[in-house]
Amino acid sequence: MANKNILLIEPGYKNKYPPLGLMKLAQYHGPQGKRDKVKFIKGEDPSVFGTAWDRIYITTLFSFEFPKIAQSVDFALKVANGHADKIFVGGIAASLMPEHFAAQPAWRGIRFIQGLLTGAPAEALKLDAFSEELYSDDLSGLAIEDLIPDYSILDQIDYKYPVRDAYFAYASRGCIRKCTFCGVPKLEGDQRDAESITCVVNGIEARYGTKKDLILMDNNIVASPKFHDIIAEIRDLGFVPDAKLSIGRVPVQRRVDFNQGVDARILCKDPVYLRELSRICIKPLRIAFDHLGLKGPYEKAVRYAHEFGLLSMSNYMLYNFHDTPTDLFERMRLNVQLNEDLGLRIWSFPMRYQPTSLPDRSHIGERWTRYQLRSMQLILQATHGVVSGDPTFFKRAFGDTAQEYLDLLVRPHHFIFNRDWYEYYEGRPRFEEFRTEFRKLGSGDSAELMELIGNVDPSAMKDQIKRATTARVRSIMRHYLPLPKEEEAEIWARQRVLKQQDHPSIVVPDEERVEDAGLNYEEPAATTPKGKSRRNPKPEPVHA
Amino acid sequence: MSTTIVPITLREPAWQRLADEIVIGKDILELLSSSMYVDPMTIYREYVQNAADSIDEARDTGLLSTGEPGRVDIDLDPGSRTVRVTDNGTGIPFEEFAGRLSAFGGSTKRGRGARGFRGVGRLAGIGYCQELLFRSRVNGETKVSELRWDCRKLKAILRSVDGHHDLRQAVGQIVEVRRIGGTDRPARFFEVEMRGIIRHRNDQLLNPTAVSSYLSQVAPVPFRENFPFREQILGHLRGQIELGNLEVLVSGNGGPVRRPHSEGVEVGVGVIDPFTELELLKLDAVDQGTAAVGWILHHGYTGALPASCHVRGLRVRCGNIQVGDDRMFEELFPETRFNAWSVGELHVVDPRIVPNGRRDHFEQSTHFDNLLTHLTPCAREIARRCRTSSIRRKWARDFELRETAVRDKLAILKQGAVSRRERTRIAESIQNDFVFLDDILRKGILPHEELAELQRRKDKLERDATRILSAPVKASVLSDLPPSKRIAYEQMIGLIYECSLSQANAKLLVDKILAKLR
């Protein structure tokens, strides 16, 4: 039953890693599988309208990308001329919030697949033998999840994944922890070992050539009882410290990346874990630092890492969950201190928490305000999402103390957005005026100001002024009115002249960045009415 | 004292099969006749289909030689309001005659590749006549078998509220059989006779033109000799399906019925839009093999085709008999209206794609679904052609309008009765018009020949414009007038042009004024 037309769609969001699920489906249908004709598109490509598709698969990633996912599903329905039974939607968002997908009446009949495609293909895909669906008799084939991903489909699209020259594999699935902010328990369940990574690496190499890096997407590798064996296997595959790959003229450094991070609570228990990790070319070492309660284990793990010569580290720092802004500041500050003490290079990537079942990024943690979150987003946009461990840089971007950081978070947004302009250039008098007024605020005034600006739409700021009860608050509220568009454009133009180029002072390779920090996320239309949205290139970068 | 808890497992009661409780009521008859065949014309399709199956069988068993055509005679007698459909197929021997013609379902044709196989089609006439008779004779029989359904009595039984009739009792009261002499009848035939045809709307059941044009679209009859794509289409279908074409003759309609296709479609009175391109289709089945073969005839796509051309729409045939109507695949088009712009036909090859009992659609299955999937791109391509053609026509029309406008303006300049300023203004607007015309020619959407023709016309127009614009202003009668008067006239004439909706009409008026002044 070869020669069927199979369409694979990844919605048009920006993402870092290629869609492994679709690549495995491509393997299932492709030249070494069912010998069908497989087409892969990213986003909506109208050229597919000319073909009769026997099946359409759509992958999904983050829940908050729901609008883009919805666009792809609607597109697929159009391509399939309404034949919903030909469409299969799987992946992370579809698994994390199946009820949200199932609740769309226009999508009735589409099959939403939760979790991994383990088990026989016909069962995993819920194919109906009674209706004689294509491949519904495949009850004994190898599970699609266990197939070698088909890298060749990536050449069919123009989009370049920041990480692509790599073997993508799992040494284990699931996780021993059940953190409430995490989607893994729902997606993968309990921790267990996966197929041998050597088989996957060799399989990919045989079919698609040698890859530079090894990306292991384990959720908690150090919790695996086979941790030592896995490290030995990675070494056997050649990923030892300083391993180089010579394909072109210049040999390139290879690296192993446990891209979901490793668990400080286990690492701190015994130096053996980091000693083992130092015996492979791990780069960067990612240690999650989700709340200040992990300070002890985290610090200890970092010191062990330093002991074994692992100097390049990356951190995921969850915020907007149960933490406070001060909690986040202390965590970031600790990294600066460790950098200074140990001479490390730790980059932190604050990640704003969104519930895994929310179809947008609107969540506001109980100890954050909408205003503070937007301020944090503006600061991170300027630092390109990275918190550097360099003390001068850090102080400039986030302040020297927790109080300075808190003050920064309540600053009028245009002062944050155009920081140099207001702190060093022509905007300075206005900023000074604000500062003077801000310093004069009593504690009651500050609380009132927070209350007034905390969770309102910028367009409603004008009305909030009227609600101020004291003259001081009323006066300082003037600074919170959004700048007129013309004035803002003028500032941007003048700044461009003043500073020839806004070169970022730090360069972080894409492969080390967090997958989606929501840096370019625009708040829903209420704040920026359609057609009037701010289309500023970027906020001013922070210079040390 | 101690208590022991004993678990009680509740067993689900077992299912029991029914035996004597099954009732098959008389109403089944209504469901199988008038309810099944809503469009009265479908009775012709049903009887021709039965004839075609019987003729195929006769050919397979050697009763019909290769050269001898399968023939169906449809005799319409408006005087006695009688219709007779007679074929030269196998016929039914007397021993099987009453049994087969009074049965419900259970056709012996199922699984033998015949077009009909549910054993109900013969009841199609019941709802549309007062008496339905079947006659037949097979080779070797001296007498003709005859069976009669009394449709009047049937109607009375169906309507009666008193008494309980099951299907068997009801049929027993309305169906009778006998053997009659038949010296004047062929040695082998089958005939359906409907007496007392009811008057339905414009009495189309007895209208030979209506019956012929219906059968020309639906029945397995050959293409016309002069249909230019006949051989190509037949070549494409050969080996995939047996057409089993019949010679169908409808009394009062001249020659045998032929498919309605010709060299084009009459889109207006005497205006033929010719077929320019034949696209042959082969649609894959779910597994190996072919689901359907077919063809699409492309033409100018100037608009929806009239229903009277009888070829409108993407249609589908099974056993070379049409299933459903010309709107069967309407939903596959991005805009349903484009179905009426198309001409095309599919022949189902995959035996798993099965028409439903009413033959107005197909049984829903993954195989039929697959057919729709694979046909969709064809429908989208037709829609694309329709849209392109409509955009193309719009540009061609725009070109013509602008060309006329330039000619009008040149005529005004040639007339020489407007002021120098007005003259410059007109000259500038002509330059703009040329930019517009160039834009149309650059669109790349017009067909090559049309583009060459328009380019030629534009070049000519440009030459004329250069000549008129560079020529010295022709001395009009105004030039003889004293300057103040001349200026006043020129102003007034300028106003006439400015205030007129049609520059051509304004020019005629100015011509008349100038003639008066002369």
User: Which DSSP string corresponds to B387-436?
Assistant: HHHHHHHHHHHHHHHHHHHHHHHHHHHHHT-S-HHHHHHHHHHHHHHHHH
Given an 8 Å threshold on Cβ–Cβ distance, is B286 in contact with A1?
yes
More confident residue, A324 or B166: A324
Question: Cβ of B230 under 8 Å from any chain A Cβ?
Answer: no
Given an 8 Å threshold on Cβ–Cβ distance, is B366 in contact with A133?
yes
The rounded Cα B116 to chain-centroid distance in angstroms is: 22
| Cβ atoms of residues A453 and A485 within 8 Å | no
Nearest CB among B332, B374, B380 relative to A50 is that of B380
For A77, nearest residue in chain B (alpha carbons) = B373
- Across the range A370-392, mean pLDDT stands at 89
The rounded Cα A485 to chain-centroid distance in angstroms is: 31
Amino acid A534: pLDDT: 40
For A52, nearest residue in chain B (alpha carbons) = B374
Given an 8 Å threshold on Cβ–Cβ distance, is A51 in contact with B287?
no
Rounded to an integer, what distance in angstroms lies between the CA atom of residue A227 and that of residue A235?
Answer: 12
Question: Cβ of A420 under 8 Å from any chain B Cβ?
Answer: no
Question: Cβ of A83 under 8 Å from any chain B Cβ?
Answer: yes
- Cα dihedral A123→A128→A134→A135 (10° resolution): 30
Local confidence band at A539 (pLDDT 50, 70, 90 cut-offs): low
Positive or negative CA dihedral for B203, B205, B208, B210? positive
> pLDDT at residue A317 above 50?
yes
What are the residues whose beta carbons fall under 8 Å from the beta carbon of A190, sequence distance 6 or more? A174, A175, A176
> pLDDT at residue A527 above 70?
no
Q: Which two tokens stand for residue B431?
A: 């330059």
Nearest CB among B284, B331, B365 relative to A132 is that of B365
Which residues on adjacent β-strands are paired with residue B72? B87, B248
Q: Angle between the A295-307 and A325-342 helix axes, to the nearest 10 degrees?
A: 20
Site from B282, B283, B286 to mutate, A interface, most A CB atoms within 10 angstroms: B286
> pLDDT at residue B93 above 50?
yes
Q: At which residue do the structure tokens 């069927």 appear?
A: A4
Local confidence band at A523 (pLDDT 50, 70, 90 cut-offs): low
Rounded to an integer, what distance in angstroms lies between the CA atom of residue A123 and that of residue A134?
Answer: 12
Amino acid A389: pLDDT: 81
Q: Which of B42-51, B291-300, B363-372, B438-447 bottoms out in mean pLDDT, i.e. has the lowest?
A: B438-447
The pairing of strands A166-169 and A213-216 is parallel
Given an 8 Å threshold on Cβ–Cβ distance, is B370 in contact with A54?
yes
Q: Angle between the A391-398 and A370-382 helix axes, to the nearest 10 degrees?
A: 140
Amino acid A120: pLDDT: 96
Given an 8 Å threshold on Cβ–Cβ distance, is A50 in contact with B377?
yes
Number of Cα atoms under 13 Å in the Cβ half of residue B411: 17
Contacts of B288 in chain A (CB under 8 A): 1
User: Which DSSP string corresponds to B88-146?
Assistant: -S----HHHHHHHHH--S--TTTTTT-S--SS-GGGGGGGG-SEEEEEEE-TT-SSEEE
**3-class DSSP assignment, residue B73:** strand
- Across the range B46-56, mean pLDDT stands at 95
Local confidence band at A530 (pLDDT 50, 70, 90 cut-offs): very low
Total count of residues recorded for chain A = 544
> pLDDT at residue A246 above 90?
no
Which residues on adjacent β-strands are paired with residue B279? B296
Amino acid A162: pLDDT: 92
Contacts of A131 in chain B (CB under 8 A): 365-366
Local confidence band at B115 (pLDDT 50, 70, 90 cut-offs): confident
Consecutive H or E run containing A391: helix A391-398
| Cβ atoms of residues A187 and A95 within 8 Å | yes
Site from B281, B287, B332 to mutate, A interface, most A CB atoms within 10 angstroms: B287
Amino acid B117: pLDDT: 78
More confident residue, B8 or A310: A310
In chain A, pLDDT over 70 holds for what percent of residues?
Answer: 92
> pLDDT at residue B19 above 50?
yes
* Mean pLDDT, chain A, whole residue set: 89
Rounded to an integer, what distance in angstroms lies between the CA atom of residue A224 and that of residue A260?
Answer: 14
**Considering only CA atoms, which of A51, A57, A66 is closest in space to residue A7?**
A57
Rounded to an integer, what distance in angstroms lies between the CA atom of residue A75 and that of residue A376?
Answer: 35
Question: Cβ of B302 under 8 Å from any chain A Cβ?
Answer: no
What are the residues whose beta carbons fall under 8 Å from the beta carbon of B155, sequence distance 6 or more? none
The predicted-structure confidence for B339-377, as pLDDT tens digits, reads as follows 999 999 999 999 999 999 889 999 999 899 999 999 999
Count of CB pairs separated by less than 8 Å, A with B = 41
Given an 8 Å threshold on Cβ–Cβ distance, is A131 in contact with B332?
no
Rounded to an integer, what distance in angstroms lies between the CA atom of residue B249 and that of residue B74?
Answer: 6
CA distance to partner chain A, nearest, from residue B348 (Å): 17
For B383, nearest residue in chain A (alpha carbons) = A50
Q: Which of A254-268, B198-212, B471-485 bottoms out in mean pLDDT, i.e. has the lowest?
A: B471-485
Number of Cα atoms under 13 Å in the Cβ half of residue B433: 23
Local confidence band at A532 (pLDDT 50, 70, 90 cut-offs): very low
Rounded to an integer, what distance in angstroms lies between the CA atom of residue B41 and that of residue B204?
Answer: 8
Question: Cβ of A80 under 8 Å from any chain B Cβ?
Answer: yes
* Mean pLDDT, chain B, whole residue set: 90
The predicted-structure confidence for A76-110, as pLDDT tens digits, reads as follows 999 999 999 999 999 999 999 999 999 999 999 99
**Considering only CA atoms, which of A205, A195, A274 is closest in space to residue A238?**
A205
CA distance to partner chain B, nearest, from residue A53 (Å): 7
Question: Cβ of B292 under 8 Å from any chain A Cβ?
Answer: no
> pLDDT at residue A535 above 60?
no
| Cβ atoms of residues A7 and A26 within 8 Å | no
Given an 8 Å threshold on Cβ–Cβ distance, is A52 in contact with B373?
yes
Question: Cβ of B375 under 8 Å from any chain A Cβ?
Answer: yes
Contacts of A47 in chain B (CB under 8 A): none
Amino acid A498: pLDDT: 73
What are the residues whose beta carbons fall under 8 Å from the beta carbon of B310, sequence distance 6 or more? B213, B216, B217, B260
- Across the range B27-56, mean pLDDT stands at 88
Nearest CB among B283, B286, B377 relative to A134 is that of B286
Positive or negative CA dihedral for A123, A127, A132, A134? negative
Contacts of A54 in chain B (CB under 8 A): 286, 370, 373
Residue B18 is given by DSSP the state -
pTM (2 decimals)? 0.81
What are the residues whose beta carbons fall under 8 Å from the beta carbon of A491, sequence distance 6 or more? A418, A421, A427, A483
> pLDDT at residue A37 above 90?
yes
Amino acid A303: pLDDT: 95
Amino acid B481: pLDDT: 84
- Across the range B386-411, mean pLDDT stands at 91
- Cα dihedral B34→B40→B42→B47 (10° resolution): 80
Which residues on adjacent β-strands are paired with residue B189? B137
Q: At which residue do the structure tokens 């359904």 appear?
A: B149
What are the residues whose beta carbons fall under 8 Å from the beta carbon of B225, sequence distance 6 or more? none
More confident residue, B115 or A264: A264
Q: Which two tokens stand for residue A93?
A: 């968002």
Question: Cβ of A531 under 8 Å from any chain B Cβ?
Answer: no
Q: At which residue do the structure tokens 């549309």 appear?
A: B128
Contacts of A81 in chain B (CB under 8 A): 331-332, 372-373, 376
Amino acid B393: pLDDT: 87
Site from A81, A83, A128 to mutate, B interface, most B CB atoms within 10 angstroms: A81
In chain A, pLDDT over 90 holds for what percent of residues?
Answer: 71
For chain B, what is the radius of gyration of the CA atoms?
36
Question: Cβ of A51 under 8 Å from any chain B Cβ?
Answer: yes
User: Which DSSP string corresponds to B146-178?
Assistant: EEEEEHHHHHHHHH--SS--BHHHHHHHHEEEE
> pLDDT at residue A516 above 90?
no
Amino acid A522: pLDDT: 66
The pairing of strands B175-180 and B71-77 is unpaired
CA distance to partner chain A, nearest, from residue B314 (Å): 16
Site from B331, B380, B382 to mutate, A interface, most A CB atoms within 10 angstroms: B380
Local confidence band at B162 (pLDDT 50, 70, 90 cut-offs): low
- Across the range A424-451, mean pLDDT stands at 91
> pLDDT at residue A282 above 90?
yes
Amino acid B164: pLDDT: 66
**3-class DSSP assignment, residue A445:** helix
Question: Cβ of B175 under 8 Å from any chain A Cβ?
Answer: no
Q: Which two tokens stand for residue B144?
A: 């003709």
The predicted-structure confidence for B309-342, as pLDDT tens digits, reads as follows 999 999 999 999 999 999 999 999 999 999 999 9
**Considering only CA atoms, which of B190, B204, B184 is closest in space to residue B78?**
B204
Contacts of B331 in chain A (CB under 8 A): 81-82
> pLDDT at residue A409 above 80?
yes
- Across the range B390-397, mean pLDDT stands at 88
Given an 8 Å threshold on Cβ–Cβ distance, is B369 in contact with A50?
no
Nearest CB among B284, B286, B373 relative to A83 is that of B373
Amino acid B430: pLDDT: 94
Given an 8 Å threshold on Cβ–Cβ distance, is B373 in contact with A86?
yes
Amino acid B166: pLDDT: 83
- The amino acid occupying position A1 is M
Could you give the C-alpha distances from A299 to A259, A306, A459, B328, B352, in angstroms and in order? 20, 11, 43, 71, 69
Q: What share of chain B is helix, strand, coil (3-state, %, to 5)?
A: 45, 15, 40
Nearest CB among B331, B365, B377 relative to A52 is that of B377
Given an 8 Å threshold on Cβ–Cβ distance, is B286 in contact with A52?
no
Q: Which of B46-60, B157-171, B299-313 bottoms out in mean pLDDT, i.e. has the lowest?
A: B157-171
| Cβ atoms of residues A232 and A198 within 8 Å | no
> pLDDT at residue A507 above 70?
no
Local confidence band at B163 (pLDDT 50, 70, 90 cut-offs): low
**3-class DSSP assignment, residue A57:** strand
Consecutive H or E run containing B76: strand B71-77
Question: Cβ of A47 under 8 Å from any chain B Cβ?
Answer: no
Question: Cβ of B335 under 8 Å from any chain A Cβ?
Answer: no
The predicted-structure confidence for A183-227, as pLDDT tens digits, reads as follows 998 888 899 988 889 999 999 999 999 999 999 999 999 999 999
Amino acid A531: pLDDT: 37
> pLDDT at residue A538 above 70?
no
Which residues on adjacent β-strands are paired with residue A167? A214
Residue A200 is given by DSSP the state H
More confident residue, B416 or B162: B416
Amino acid A243: pLDDT: 93
- The amino acid occupying position A295 is K
Given an 8 Å threshold on Cβ–Cβ distance, is B365 in contact with A49?
no
Given an 8 Å threshold on Cβ–Cβ distance, is A50 in contact with B367?
no
> pLDDT at residue B225 above 90?
yes
- Across the range B479-508, mean pLDDT stands at 87
Local confidence band at B135 (pLDDT 50, 70, 90 cut-offs): very high
Contacts of B375 in chain A (CB under 8 A): 52
Question: Cβ of A137 under 8 Å from any chain B Cβ?
Answer: no
Nearest CB among B283, B366, B373 relative to A53 is that of B373
For chain A, helix (H) and strand (E) counts, in that order, are 22, 15
Cis peptide before A284 (omega within 30 of 0): yes
The predicted complex's ipTM stands at 0.72
Local confidence band at B254 (pLDDT 50, 70, 90 cut-offs): confident
- Across the range A423-434, mean pLDDT stands at 91
For A4, nearest residue in chain B (alpha carbons) = B286
Q: What are phi and psi of B329, to 5 degrees?
A: -110, 15
**3-class DSSP assignment, residue B460:** helix
> pLDDT at residue B183 above 60?
yes
Question: Cβ of A133 under 8 Å from any chain B Cβ?
Answer: yes
Q: What are phi and psi of A434, to 5 degrees?
A: -60, -45
